[in-house]
Amino acid sequence: MAVGKKAALSSAGAAPVIREVTEAEFIERFASLIDRFDASIAADARPEFAGAEPGDPHEHTTRVHFLDELVELLGWSLGLGGDMAEEARLKGETTTFMDYLGVEATSNVPALLIEAKAWDKSFLQPRKKEAFEAPALLGEGINHWRTGGEAKNSPVAGQWHAYIDQVGGYVKGLKDRHGLTLPRAMITSGQWIVVFVDPMQAFVEGTVVDTKIKIFHKQNFKAQASELFWLISKKALAAETPFSVRPTQILNYLTKDSVVACFHAVHVSYEASGSPVFGRKPRVLVYPALVLRGADNMLLTVLEESEESLLAYTKDEITDELSLGPHVDDLAAGAAALLARTGEQLDLALRPAPTVDFPGFLREPMHKQAVTRPLARSNPREPDNWIIVTGQATHFVKTGPDMDCSFHKWSVCNIVRLAAGSSAISMPVLSAPRVLFIDETPHHCAHLDVIDRRESRCQIHMIDARLCCRGCTFASDCWPGNTRPPLPCGT
Residues 120-144 pLDDT 10s: 899 999 998 888 999 999 999 999 9
Q: How far apart are CA 48 and CA 40, in angstroms?
A: 10
Mean pLDDT of the 175-183 span: 87
Residues 1-44 pLDDT 10s: 333 332 233 333 333 334 468 889 999 999 999 998 888 776 55
pLDDT of residue 106: 67
Radius of gyration of the chain (CA): 28
pLDDT of residue 276: 87
pLDDT of residue 53: 55
pLDDT band at residue 50 using 50, 70 and 90 as cut-offs = very low
What mean pLDDT is reported for the chain?
Answer: 86
Mean pLDDT of the 294-318 span: 88
Q: How large a percentage of the chain has pLDDT more than 90? A: 56
Answer whether residue 369 shows pLDDT above 70. Answer: no
Q: How far apart are CA 299 and CA 293, in angstroms?
A: 5
Mean pLDDT of the 218-243 span: 89
Stronger pLDDT, 298 or 245, i.e. the higher one: 245
Mean pLDDT of the 438-462 span: 93
Mean pLDDT of the 77-85 span: 82
Mean pLDDT of the 219-237 span: 92
pLDDT of residue 364: 59
pLDDT of residue 422: 94
Residues 313-363 pLDDT 10s: 998 888 888 899 999 999 999 999 999 999 999 999 999 999 999 988 876
